[in-house]
Amino acid sequence: MNYKKYYLTAFVLYLNYFIHGIGVSILAQYKQQFAAQWGGKLLSNGTYDVSSVVMVIAALGLGRLVALPFAGPLSDKIGRRASALIGIASYIIYLVGIAFSPNASVAYVCALVGGIANSFLDTGVIPACMEILVESTGLASILTKLFISVGQLGLPMMIGYIAANHMSYKTLFYVMAGLFVVIALLVAIMPMPKTSLGSKGQGKEESLFQKIKSVKFTPTSIALILIGFTCTSTFQLWLNCIQEFAKSTGLKNPSVIQTYYSMGTIVAVILTALLVKQTVKPVRILVVYPLIAMIMLIIVYVVKTPQITLIGGFVIGFSAAGGVLQLAVSTINDMFPKIKGIITSIIMIASSAANYAVLSVAGGITKSFGVNGPKYVLLLNIAITCVGVLLAIYVNMSYRKTSVSNNSAKA
């Protein structure tokens, strides 16, 4: 089959992730505005208590967690096109709903829908692109991360343009919703490979939870799943909670951190792909990247200057969001080669759980400690990242023992 005729379709599908990169980051950039909109308490330093906004951001992870077990099987049944369209429609509801929400409770429900949208995009767009780029499935996966990072890279410039032209902080939400409508129309009419039409009539499929029961987990595989939790926690806490801490260091425009973060992510995605291609084992990088992130977080906490915070944005983007989760997925898939789909779903569930759990805790810390909340959230990030480093060290030690044992058996 000539897949080149579907390349434009793949590009349009990837545009969903460009907007998604903006959509998952924008609430963090407008926390003060939405806190005011939802009746947040005014603190002693003149800023609003943003704990309710952090809780709403956490709901994105909960929505994704709820949808993941059934979004994949449904995509296989109804087809990639339909799954992608469900994701796009849900995302539009999220964007418009957040903009119009009168309080945090309504916004929380809208964020749940946004998390569901993410799951359906993941299970519709990514498989469809892999079926188009059939000879480069690794590239198909990396491009997803690249489009997200490019969207996040452009977000501060968009925010700056809106502020300079005295537009409403809700403007980007309306613009993104409009772009999603255009993409939905294109996805509905553009050609897709026949393999994207779904699998029907193949008998009753086991649910994800039934399949999980049959998996025999080892301590090493459990550690890798937990790394999926810790590495996601590191970049989610930074991405969504660093702005208030940055202001306390004297940084006047914290949204600039987003630019440095995205640049770091893009550099890491490219470098990691090259390293893995040059036979560097992913399991080795699993230690190095989180260790770099932990050291950088400690420096940001201790030094407390605008310049260090900006450097921290680049380093955290590089070391925490530049492929650690994907490398953990790759490593655990090598351990379970016959059930790659199941094991990938499990580690993604751990990642989604992190998104919800740690941001919910961060919201509670922010509410409890007021102006000192950002400092304690950063300490929480340091602690979780340290756990991730210890888990990665354990995985490497176990991996080395297994390799030595296999070599001895061959000898």
Q: What share of the chain is helix, strand, coil (3-state, %, to 5)?
A: 85, 0, 15
What are the residue boundaries of the structural domains of the chain, listed by start? 7-194, 213-404
Q: Which residues contact 66 (CB under 8 A, 6 or more apart)?
A: 112, 115, 116
- Please report the pLDDT score of residue 407 as a whole number: 47
Residue 409 has pLDDT above 50, yes or no: no
CATH annotation of 213-404: 1.20.1250.20
CATH hierarchy code of domain 7-194: 1.20.1250.20
206's enclosing H/E stretch is none
The whole-angstrom distance between residue 361's C-alpha and the CA centroid of its chain comes to: 18
Q: What tens digit of pLDDT does each residue of 129-147 get?
A: 888 887 776 667 778 888 9
What's the pTM?
A: 0.84
Question: pLDDT tens for residues 17-36?
Answer: 999 999 989 999 999 999 99
| Sign of CA pseudo-dihedral 215, 226, 261, 238 | positive
Domains 7-194 and 213-404 share a fold: yes
* CA–centroid distance for 284 within its chain: 22
Cα separation of the two ends of the chain: 45
pLDDT of 209 higher than 80: no
